[in-house]
Amino acid sequence: MEVLITDEQKAVNVNTDFIKDVATEIMSFIKSPDNSQLSLVFCDDDAIKELNNEYRGKNQPTDVLSFPIELENFVPEIRMLGDIVISTDTALKQAKDYNHSVETEMVILLIHGLLHLSGYDHIKEDECKEMRAKENEVLKHICGIERFSSLSNNSSEPLIERVSESV
């Protein structure tokens, strides 16, 4: 599995090795093919606002956008999952609002984006419940791994409760 990271922002010092490690673990846990490739972009609110407007018709920043690669672009040697774009400006705000680290918030957004690339959605209520449950399952798995223990909030409350808010 390969994770390509582009960092186009200045708000957060992104630990790319850590993010690649987390992304690879998530991809493995959700059973992405071994030859999977993911493109991950960290940007600011201005950049994600432009993308959100162009692709979703919403002229406002958002936290994360996912762009799956269509099967017609499938190359047998590499299974390109797609692109995930995360606004670190919004991640910083949400981390403060939800009282956890920006690192944890970026992992939550990464999980959300990867599940979108794997076919999950949250438009309908039943889809939202299924996606929220899967997000919490993946995050619980990640937090249970010693090298990612810094992500845990040591609480019995699930960290991901706001999936429907980002629709």
pLDDT value for 70: 64
- In the chain the beta strands, taken as DSSP E runs, fall at 2-7, 36-43, 64-68, 79-87
Full domain range(s) for residue 119: 2-166
Helix (H, G, I), strand (E, B) or coil at 15: coil
Structural tokens at position 145: 């791994």
pLDDT value for 32: 87
Residue 115 backbone zone (phi > 0: left; psi -120 to 50: alpha; other: beta): alpha
pLDDT value for 146: 81
Residue 48 DSSP code: H
Structural tokens at position 165: 């808010």
Instruction: Using the structure block, give the residue that is written with the tokens 């957060």.
Output: 12
pLDDT, tens digit, for every residue of 3-33? 999 999 999 999 999 999 999 999 999 998 8
Helix (H, G, I), strand (E, B) or coil at 85: strand
Give the CATH number of the domain where residue 68 resides: 3.40.390.30
Number of structural domains found in the chain: 1
Residues of the chain with pLDDT under 70: 70-76, 78, 152-167
pLDDT value for 140: 87
pLDDT, tens digit, for every residue of 128-138? 888 888 988 99
pLDDT value for 101: 85
